[in-house]
Amino acid sequence: MIVYQETKKQFLHDVRSDLIEDKIEAKVKEKLHKKTAHNEFVSWMNSMQYMYKVMEDEHIPDESMIAIEYRIPNSNKRVDFIVCGEDGTGKESAVVIELKQWQEIAKVKGKEAIVKTNLQGRPVETTHPSYQAWSYVSMIKDYNEDVRKYKINLKPCAYLHNYRLQPNDDLTDACYEYYIDKAPLFTRGDTDRLAAFIARYIKKGNADVLYHIDNGKIVPSKSLQDNLTSMLKGNKEFTLIDEQKVVFEKSLEIVRNQQRKQVYIIHGGPGTGKTVLAINMLVAILNMDKNVMYVTKNAAPREVYRKKLTDGQYRRAYIDNLFKGSGAFTEAISNDFDCLIVDEAHRLNEKSGMFQNLGENQIKEIINAARTSIFFVDDFQMVTTKDIGSTNEIKKWCHYFDTEIYEDTLLSQFRCNGSDSYLSWIDNVLEINPEAMDDFDHDYDIRICDRPDEVKDLIMEKNKANNKARMVAGYCWDWIREGKNNSDVHDIKIGDFGMSWNLGSSSTWAIDPESVNEIGCIHTCQGLEFDYVGVIIGEDLRYDDGIITDFTKRAKTDQSIKGLKGLYAKDSQKALNIADRIIKNTYRTLLTRGQKGCYIYCVDEKLKEYLKLRLNAHK
C-alpha cells in the first residue's frame, strides 16, 4: 500500500507550496487509519525539502512517479521514498530510497550490518542504513509476484541528508562494504550524486511500474520456497507420522478452503512434534503460493532456525521474512496474511514491544491479521506472569471475530525416547496432574545425581558425539551483568561447583559448540530440544511431605515472576497459585528437553531423595 503517489512535477509543487507533509498525514489517516506522531510529521517536513532539491534535477523526467511511505508486504515497515519509471532499455525500474536524519553513528563490531546511533534521545543499536534499504528491497522482491513477473529493476540506496561524512568514517567502514555495494550511501552535500544515481535508472516515466509495485500479488518467490523446502525436508527427522500427518493434511485443507476467518488450535505436550509440524506446515503452505509466516514469542528458536537456514544460500533478511516475533502484528491490516502459524502459543502476551506498551492483545492481533491462524498450544507450558496464550483465551478471541474453530490434539511422543510414561511420571511427581499415571517403564535414560558436577560430567561426555547435550537450570541465580559475556564468571554457584548462565550474545546457545560450557534457562531453551539435558533444580522447588514451590527463591533478575510480590501483598493465595503454576510448568518444560536422557540435580536434599524414591519404586 502506497500512502502518497504523484508525478515528480506534482511532488515538486506540493513541497514548494508547503503542502507535502499535510498531504502525507491525510493519506496516512485515510489509508492506514493512524494518527501521525509529531516527530514523524516534522521528519517529513525536513526530509522532503532535501528530496525536493534532489528531484529538481532536470535529468530526472517530470513524468516519473513518486511514492512516499510504501507499506512493504508481510510487514508494518514502510519505504520512505520511491522513484519509478523506465531505464534506458525500456525496462521497468524503481529507485528505493531510505531517508535518515541521523547526524552521527558508531560502528558495532562482531554484529553483521549493525550500527549504534541516537534514536529518541538515547544510543541504540540498529541496522546500517544500506542494509535496511537493501533488506526492504529484498522483502519486496521476495513477496511481490508482479515485481518478479515484470522483472522490475529495484535499486536501493540510503540518503542521510543531515550526516556530514568524515574521513575514515564508521558509516562507510569496510565491515559494511557488502551492503553499501548493494545499496549506495548518500550523505549531506550529495544532492547532485543522488540525483545522478536516480537519473541513471529512471530515463522515462511509466505509471505502470508504481501500479505493479502497489497492486502485485503477494506470493513468496519460487527460489526461496525451493531452497527452504530443500533444507527442511532434506532432514529425515521431519517425517510426519500418525496424527501428525492427519493434522498436517487438515491444516493444508483449511488454508486451501478459506471461505471465512478460521482458527485451528492444535494441542500437544512436550515432544509431540509441534515445532516439527509447524515448520512442515510453513514449507507446504509456502509451496501453495500462500502468504504465510512462522510466529513465536520466544526469540531463541527463531534465532536457531535462522542460523541453520542462513547457513544456506540466502542471507538473513530473506529468512527474517518468514520467522517473526509475536509482537509484529500490532498494526497489521485485517486478513493481511493467508496464514499465521503460531508455535508456543501459550507464551503469547497481551502487550507488545520492549516496554510492553504496544498493541492490545497479541492473540487478538494475530487472529485479526490472518485469514487462517494456527495455534500450537500446551497449557502446561505457561511459565511467566505475562503468558496469556491459554486455550480459553484463544477461544475467547475466536468468538469475538466469529471465526470457524478447528481443534485437534497431538499424542505421539517424539522426545524422551518416545516414553509417554516419563512425561506422565513428571506430571504426577511434580503434582501438576494428580490423575497422571506414575508407572515408569524406564525406556528413557534418567538419573538423579548427588552432585551438580556429576550432571556436568555426563553432559560433557554425551555432547562429544554431536553437540546435542546441554545443561539448564531453574532461574534461581542472578545473571551477573558484568560477566554476561564471560564463561569464567560463574553466576550459578553450588558449593565448589560453578558455571555461567548462557552468554548475553549467544542467541544460538542451543547449537553453538562452546555453549556446552554454559547453562541455559527456561527462556533460552523453551521450544528447543537436545539429545540429552542436564537439569539443576533450584531452591524454588523443594519437598516437605509434598511438592513445595517458593517464588521468593527466584533470582532478582528473573522477569518471569514480575508483579508477584505486589500481588502477594494484596491477594496472597492468588499470588501463590500463580507462582505454583509457573514454577512447576518451568521444571516440567526443562525436564522434557532431552530426546534420549535427562540427568537431574536438586539443591534441596529432601527433593533429591524423594525423586530417587519415586524413580526406584519402578525399577
**What's residue 124's pLDDT?**
85
3-class SS at 324?
strand
For residue 49, what is its C-alpha cell? 525539502
Residue 122, phi then psi, degrees to nearest 5: -145, 150
pLDDT at 418 over 70: no
Q: What is the architecture, at CATH level 2, of domain 222-410?
A: 3-Layer(aba) Sandwich (3.40)
The Cα-based distances of 500 to 71, 170, 458, 517 in angstroms read: 43, 33, 17, 8
Per-residue pLDDT band at 529 (split at 50, 70, 90) = confident
The Cα-based distances of 528 to 68, 299, 337, 589, 615 in angstroms read: 42, 11, 26, 10, 26
pLDDT at 483 over 80: no
Mean pLDDT of 370-382: 93
User: Do 567 and 575 touch, CB atoms closer than 8 A?
Assistant: yes
Per-residue pLDDT band at 436 (split at 50, 70, 90) = confident
Whose CA is closest to 410, among 267, 220, 214? 267
The domain segmentation of the chain, as residue ranges, is 2-215, 222-410, 421-616
Residues 6+ apart with CB under 8 A from 345: 363, 375, 376, 377, 389, 394
Least confident piece of the model among 358-367, 410-419, 572-581: 410-419
The Cα-based distances of 84 to 57, 68, 139, 540, 557 in angstroms read: 15, 11, 18, 61, 51
**What's residue 112's pLDDT?**
81
Burial class (CB in 10 A: 0-12, 13-18, 19+), 288: middle
Q: What is the DSSP string of 4-35?
A: EEEEHHHHHHHHHTT-HHHHHHHHIIIII--P
**What's residue 441's pLDDT?**
56
**What's residue 316's pLDDT?**
62
Rounded Cα distance, 243 and 248, in Å: 8
273-302 per-position pLDDT tens digit: 788 788 889 888 988 889 999 999 877 677
3-class SS at 500?
strand
**What's residue 234's pLDDT?**
42
User: Do 306 and 320 touch, CB atoms closer than 8 A?
Assistant: yes
Least confident piece of the model among 56-70, 216-230, 456-470, 517-531: 216-230
pLDDT at 503 over 80: no
**What's residue 310's pLDDT?**
63
123-168 per-position pLDDT tens digit: 888 889 998 899 889 888 877 889 999 999 999 999 999 999 999 9
In the block, residue with C-alpha cell 520492549: 354
In the block, residue with C-alpha cell 550500527: 115
Residue 109, phi then psi, degrees to nearest 5: -80, 145
Whose CA is closest to 406, among 443, 447, 377, 368? 377
Mean pLDDT of 6-35: 91
pLDDT at 2 over 80: yes
Rounded Cα distance, 17 and 342, in Å: 48
Rounded Cα distance, 97 and 11, in Å: 16
For residue 301, what is its C-alpha cell? 528458536
Q: What is the mean pLDDT of the chain?
A: 87
Mean pLDDT of 30-39: 82
User: Do 266 and 249 touch, CB atoms closer than 8 A?
Assistant: no
For residue 144, what is its C-alpha cell? 511481490
For residue 449, what is its C-alpha cell? 545425581
Whose CA is closest to 70, among 177, 148, 143, 10? 143
pLDDT at 476 over 60: yes
Residues 6+ apart with CB under 8 A from 47: 80, 81, 99, 101, 161
**What's residue 321's pLDDT?**
76
Mean pLDDT of 41-45: 92
Least confident piece of the model among 68-72, 301-305, 328-332, 411-415: 411-415
Per-residue pLDDT band at 403 (split at 50, 70, 90) = very high
For residue 497, what is its C-alpha cell? 561447583
Q: What is the 8-class DSSP label of residue 561?
A: G
For residue 296, what is its C-alpha cell? 513465536
User: Do 458 and 516 touch, CB atoms closer than 8 A?
Assistant: no
Rounded Cα distance, 463 and 332, in Å: 43
* Identity of the amino acid at 244: Q
User: Do 527 and 326 touch, CB atoms closer than 8 A?
Assistant: no
Per-residue pLDDT band at 229 (split at 50, 70, 90) = very low
pTM attached to this predicted model:
0.69
92-105 per-position pLDDT tens digit: 999 999 999 999 99
Residue 260, phi then psi, degrees to nearest 5: -150, 175
For residue 76, what is its C-alpha cell? 508494518
Per-residue pLDDT band at 223 (split at 50, 70, 90) = very low
Mean pLDDT of 309-328: 72
**What's residue 181's pLDDT?**
97
Positive or negative torsion for Cα 573, 577, 579, 584: positive
3-class SS at 503?
coil
**What's residue 220's pLDDT?**
58
Least confident piece of the model among 203-212, 403-412, 440-449, 565-574: 440-449
Cα 307 versus chain centre, distance: 13
**What's residue 440's pLDDT?**
64
Least confident piece of the model among 171-180, 383-392, 500-509: 500-509
Mean pLDDT of 457-476: 94
User: Do 368 and 303 touch, CB atoms closer than 8 A?
Assistant: no
556-613 per-position pLDDT tens digit: 888 888 888 899 899 999 999 999 999 999 999 999 888 889 999 999 999 999 999 9
